[in-house]
Amino acid sequence: MKLKVSLRLVMVLSIFAVMLGTPSALVYAAVPITGVATSCGGIASCTFSLTDGNGGTGTATASAGVGGYVGQSPLPFSGGYVIFQLPGDAVPTSAYGVYAGQAVLDGYSQTAGTLYQSTGTFSALDVNTGLVVTGTTSTIVGIKGHSGRGGGNTYTLVSGAISITETPLHPTTMTVGCSPTPVAVNAQTACTATVTDTTAGTPVTPTGSVTFGSSGAGTFSSASCSLSGTGATASCLVGYTPAPGTEGTQTITVNYLGDSIHLGSLAASFPITAEQRSTSTILSCSSPFHVKTPITCTVTVVDTSPGNPLTPSGNVKLAITHKGGSSSKTCSLNENNDVTSCSVTFTPTRTGYYTVKATYGGDSDYFGSTMSQTFNVA
């Protein structure tokens, strides 16, 4: 007699574990949680007794359903997922896996009219502990009297096992450095964060993002950056520009929160020095250089630092020396069409060589600078 068995090609596998005690999660890295099926209450729906690395026990339920019309046997199927809740977990975690199995029509066995067999592997991040959980499942269930066989459906466990391993995330260390330092205010320094996998086993390249902060006022080109690299080390960089008026020592800090394989790192820091911007003083005294003829000397102060220039302010002192003595004059800088300058006029009273030295003393955001010019008064 030919039997027709209705089978659906979908397998759903779920595990719910309720364990005694709350042992340290790191135990599972050394000793897997193992389970042996003890009974079945439906098509591939079995109860497991579990034992963890500390000797704690609990239960789990694995369910697999297969259906649809089968014209031949065996019928392969695949697909499924696991829902696990390990000792101490407050909520369950779902993990999709890679599964394979088959349904075998057996019209002669007195213990199994149809045999459902599935095996699978899964991996996921435990939402409770942040540790990586991997596992395997194996279930074989016979259904006596299924689809036309007398006596109704009777579910008979043939075999079943579960193995779950929870692995600690890889530890990491982090460093940060900025170059150049010192850096002028309103100019940019490049800050590089480096994260290293320090596991005793095989390292995995860290991924994810690093966030930046500063103890001083300033702006980052981006508040975070995405890591990239090879081997055990990954890095990324952002630019930091200290604001005007923040001259002095500032501390750049970085944080790494980790990824699905790596723990986060303790915050790292790096001191930088924000300094005044550099200037160049340009002096130009007009000719002709004759006795008793007024000479005008113009001083221009130029921002020579990289980045966005500011406007120098303050006074310029001009010291005028000649064979007969010396004198001095002072002028205040003014900006006109992006040119910062000032002028003084003096009248030589004797012939000979004159030297004019212009000294800009700087301000809160600028270093000072000097320039001299020597000319012969006839």
pLDDT tens-digit series, residues 254-282: 999 888 788 889 899 999 999 999 999 99
- Map tokens 């530890």 to a residue: 171
Bigger pLDDT: 89 vs 372: 372
Mean pLDDT of the chain: 80
User: What is the C-alpha to C-alpha distance for residues 369 and 378, in angstroms, rounded to an integer?
Assistant: 30
Residue type, 154: T
Q: Are 58 and 75 in contact (CB under 8 A)?
A: no
State pTM to two decimals.
0.62
Domain spans of the chain, in order of start: 5-167, 172-275, 279-377
Res. 117: pLDDT tops 60: yes
Determine the Cα–Cα distance for residues 183 and 193; give it in Å rounded to an integer: 18
Q: Is the pLDDT of residue 109 over 70?
A: no
Q: Do domains 172-275 and 279-377 have the same CATH topology?
A: yes
Residue 186 backbone dihedrals phi, psi, to 5 degrees: 70, 15
Q: How many CB atoms neighbour CB 52 within 10 A? A: 24
* DSSP element (H, E) containing 30: helix 27-30
CATH assignment, 172-275: 2.60.40.10
Cβ atoms of residues 273 and 249 within 8 Å: yes
Q: Report the CATH number of the 279-377 domain.
A: 2.60.40.10
Mean pLDDT of 89-107: 69
CA neighbor of 358 nearest in space, from 313, 320, 317, 308: 317
CA quadruple 205, 209, 210, 212: dihedral, nearest 10: 160
Residue 60 or residue 190, greater confidence: 190
